[in-house]
Amino acid sequence: MKLRSLVLLAALGFGLTACNNDGDDLFKDEESKSVTISLANVLPQSKGTGTQIPEGNKKVTLNDYYVVFTDGTNLYGGYDLTPEGKKDNAEKYYNATTLSKTFHFVNGAANQAIVIGNVGGVEGALKKQLDGCSTLAALKALICQMSEEQDEKDLTLYGTGNFVKKGSADDEQHTNVYTAAINVKPLIARIEVTGFKYAKVDPQTDAKYSKILLNKIAIDNYYPAVQLDGTYSGELSFYDVPATGNSQNFFESLTSGWTNDDFAGVELMPDEVNTAADILGEGKDAYVYHVAAGATIPHILLQMQGVPAAGGDNVPLHIVARGLLKEGTPVNELEAGKVYRLSFEFNDNDLEQPAKCVEVTVTVADWVVEVVTPQF
């Protein structure tokens, strides 16, 4: 299902150099630019050794990437030089084993580099869509479906870097020399539910239920897709369980997919914490949902049954978390490239008001881009 840890594969250091090319005046030297690009958030790693990831952060994988340049309106590629010193169109697509690349004769109007990571290979659908874009507006309007953004090893990554002019000429005495630092990150935010607790209202008083049986966890109030520029796409999925107080129709409407998960024989005893790691096993430590970033905060719903401490039939229950708190302050927007980690805790007071929503506290971490060398 969803996983716990992400490994980021690949750093990019691009050098883009404007060069003289006798016999080819497609761009004159003074019209083109030399730009050195670096990925500012990429951590280096070599075979057998690693760079420690900051505690609490996650790693994300870069398998390949696509690079273009823009002046804010149009898109441009760069050029290679042949052994004979002739200009040749440079590729825009590279796999993650290419850690540096020099582009010659970058159009003089360009002032920004764009890198899109994990485009699905040379024949990938996203790569082909990017090939068809000639303007920045067209590129930004490309759509990524949330259902296809659930594998942390194949998330769409996006980053831009503005050109900054260097104060000195390069070795060939070109003065049009620039640098650009790029942070490549996922387009989406990650929600991790790491545990569940049925808490007593009063430690000295017995809980209403001897135990809670977990049936299903699901998210609601989310958009199904996002554009490369981060704009929501598609129709909002919102059943509004809090307004009706009736969750049965919502849970019955769910189909198997990325928005929900079933529990198998999970019991919550009063005041005991059940971690996702204990429930899931197999090295997984959270129920994970990748969602579109932005001001729409997904609701997290639990479907349960209560086993009355006084005896009798099991009671159908549900609870909705439609708010997130960070250090006591409401989270009003989910940021792309951030991990929101929470433990789901509730008590009898929460369960006695079916339409009531609880606010759960989250800790926030970053997704970190890391370079790895494949081992065969």
Could you tell me if 220 and 332 lie in one domain? yes
Flag whether 364 is in a domain.
Answer: yes
Phi and psi based region of residue 313 (left: phi greater than 0; alpha: psi -120 to 50; beta: remaining): beta
Please say which residue of 187, 219, 250 terminates a domain. Answer: 187
CATH of the domain at 155: 2.60.40.2580
Q: What are the C-alpha distances in Å from 345 to residues 198, 247, 326, 373?
A: 6, 19, 15, 41
Residue 180 has pLDDT above 80, yes or no: no
Choose between 165 and 370: higher pLDDT. Answer: 165
The domain total for the chain is 2
Please say which residue of 187, 207, 239 terminates a domain. Answer: 187
- CA 4 – CA 6 distance, rounded (Å): 7
Q: What is the pLDDT of residues 131-171, one digit of tens each?
A: 999 999 999 999 999 999 999 888 999 999 998 887 776 65
Determine contact, residues 304/224, Cβ cutoff 8 Å.
no
Could you tell me if 240 and 316 lie in one domain? yes
Flag whether 374 is in a domain.
Answer: no
Please report the pLDDT score of residue 33 as a whole number: 67
Please report the pLDDT score of residue 164 as a whole number: 82
Residue 275 has pLDDT above 80, yes or no: yes
Flag whether 1 is in a domain.
Answer: no
Q: What is the pLDDT of residues 191-217, one digit of tens each?
A: 999 999 999 999 989 999 999 999 999
Which domain does 182 fall in, by range? 13-187
Q: Minimal CA–CA distance to 280: which of 291, 264, 256, 268?
A: 264
Would you place residue 23 in the very low, low, confident or very high pLDDT band (cuts 50, 70, 90)? very low
CATH of the domain at 252: 2.60.40
Determine contact, residues 326/39, Cβ cutoff 8 Å.
no
Please say which residue of 142, 172, 187 terminates a domain. Answer: 187
Could you tell me if 127 and 250 lie in one domain? no
**Residue 141 structure tokens:** 């309007």
**Residue 184 structure tokens:** 């490549």
**H helix runs in 264-371, sequence order:** 276-280, 348-351
Please report the pLDDT score of residue 230 as a whole number: 95
Could you tell me if 172 and 216 lie in one domain? no
Could you tell me if 156 and 202 lie in one domain? no
Please state the φ and ψ torsions of residue 171, each to the nearest 5 degrees: -65, -25
DSSP 52: P
Tell me which residue has tokens 């150099």: 17
Could you tell me if 211 and 322 lie in one domain? yes
Q: Minimal CA–CA distance to 37: which of 17, 18, 51?
A: 17
- CA 308 – CA 226 distance, rounded (Å): 44
